[in-house]
Amino acid sequence: METEEQPFAISIVTWKSYKVRRCTVNTLSAECQAMIQGIGSLHLLRALLTETRGVKLERGTWEQEIGRTPFIAITDNKSLYDTVNKCRNTASHIEDKRTAIDITVFKNDCRKTQGQVRWIEGSRMISDSLTKRMNPSYLRKILYGEMWSLSEKGFSMQDASILLLISADREGAM
């Protein structure tokens, strides 16, 4: 999914909305904390999936074992994406040192567990309608069509395939 242009079948396994527990000094800090919380939940799901395959997770090797199921964390916050993927010395790049520590820990975690962070345009963020006052039609289209892409060309293909699914469903109902 991370390198192909066509849309892929997806399932939304879990979703959560909550207030960030710690006071934040800026959007980057809040987005980083939310990403860390989400990745923590994802690690639990990956650990359970790994155990269903008969692998016993050990304290020293669990990151390597769950890393056999790589992940892509998706954000529409360009600042978080740029900091995670392009910044080599986080502490010198970020004024708030607590945020710099959080991002450094997150980057290490991604490296150890075969994760990557991708940026997409906000209008393509599936979950936005769950937390913002906006039309939920995009989320519904994704849930109905079960297809999603991480590339602009894939978005166009995805939109066309969803329209075909909707059209076919309407014809079948007649």
pLDDT digits (tens, 9 = 90+) for 69-123: 888 888 889 999 999 988 878 877 888 888 999 999 999 999 999 998 988 887 7
Give the count of domains, the chain.
2
Q: Torsion over CA of 76, 148, 117 and 23, rounded to 10 degrees?
A: 40
- Of 119, 139, 155, at which residue does a domain stop? 119
Interval 38-63: pLDDT, tens: 899 999 999 999 999 999 999 999 99
- Of 76, 98, 119, at which residue does a domain stop? 119
3-state helix, strand, coil in the chain (%, to 5): 55, 10, 35
Token code pair at residue 5: 């242009």
Q: Which residues of 37-49 are buried (b: 16+ CB within 10 A; e: fewer)?
A: ebbeebbeebbee
- For residue 34, give the nearest of 47, 49, 15 by alpha carbon: 15
Q: pLDDT value at position 168?
A: 47
What pTM value is reported for the model?
0.75
* Same domain, yes or no: 108 and 161: no
* Same domain, yes or no: 93 and 64: yes
